[in-house]
Amino acid sequence: MRRNVSLAEISDGKLYSEHDMVKADCRGCEGCSDCCRGMGESIILDPYDAFRLSVGLGRPFADFLEKEVELHVVDGVILPNLRMCGPDEACAFLNAQGRCSVHPCRPGICRIFPLGRYYEGDGYRYFLQTGECRAVRSKVKVSKWIDTPNGQKMRAFVIRWHNLLRDTEAELARCGDDRQREINLVLLRCFYLTPYDETVDFCVQYDEREAQYKNYLLQK
């Protein structure tokens, strides 16, 4: 999701790589669950989140659409995001103790918070969102904080997914309503609703799905 704000308004003005130290470690959150409430539609899920959640919880991703996840249009593309529920608009995965019930398979946006991704050229770096977490935080290495194994492989996936969404947006802007609906349906089916195989590496499955989807976009 693109945000039309300047980096200076929402961050400490610096950009960080995985090797840098950043003041992001909220040390277990100590009873706070602020960033799991009232987040609207902003916790958008990518295909790796869909894989991680469905394999981690042993449920097909389509199941989550009944309660924990909803669909929303983001820059013209229909994408899933975590659903906020009840009077305090809590994430559907937040438990009664105010802790994340899916911590080991929580989505990428939750993993990196209070960091965000800043895309530039063919890659991205991280920025620290200074207005989002009021905890007293200590410094931590970015790679440790984001807690994602296979760092280089997953970085490559994030860039490819970002580029694919950008190409999809461009295609949607060129076509009429019927084709827009079809593209959105194909994208949802290809990357989210078709069940992932837990015995096969995510990146291998993503390669296949991306090839299929690009082939579909080119055929029309």
Instruction: Give the interface with ligand SF4 as residue ranges (CB under 6 A).
Output: 26, 29, 32-36, 43, 82, 91, 93-94, 100, 102, 106-107, 110, 113-114, 133, 135
Cα(56)–Cα(33) distance, integer angstroms: 22
Shortest separation between residue 50's beta carbon and ligand SF4, angstroms: 13
Cα(176)–Cα(212) distance, integer angstroms: 22
Shortest separation between residue 92's beta carbon and ligand SF4, angstroms: 7
Decide whether 62 or 105 has the Cβ nearer to ligand SF4.
Answer: 105
Shortest separation between residue 170's beta carbon and ligand SF4, angstroms: 30
Q: Which residues make beta-bridge pairs with 119?
A: 124
Pure H helices in 73-176: 108-112, 142-146, 151-174
Residue 190 falls in which region: left (phi positive, over 0), alpha (psi -120 to 50) or beta = alpha
Decide whether 31 or 176 has the Cβ nearer to ligand SF4.
Answer: 31
Shortest separation between residue 101's beta carbon and ligand SF4, angstroms: 7
Decide whether 71 or 217 has the Cβ nearer to ligand SF4.
Answer: 71
Structure tokens at 1: 């999701």
Decide whether 27 or 153 has the Cβ nearer to ligand SF4.
Answer: 27
Decide whether 27 or 181 has the Cβ nearer to ligand SF4.
Answer: 27
Helix axis angle, 151-174 relative to 202-219, nearest 10°?
20
Pure H helices in 20-141: 47-57, 61-64, 108-112
Shortest separation between residue 174's beta carbon and ligand SF4, angstroms: 35
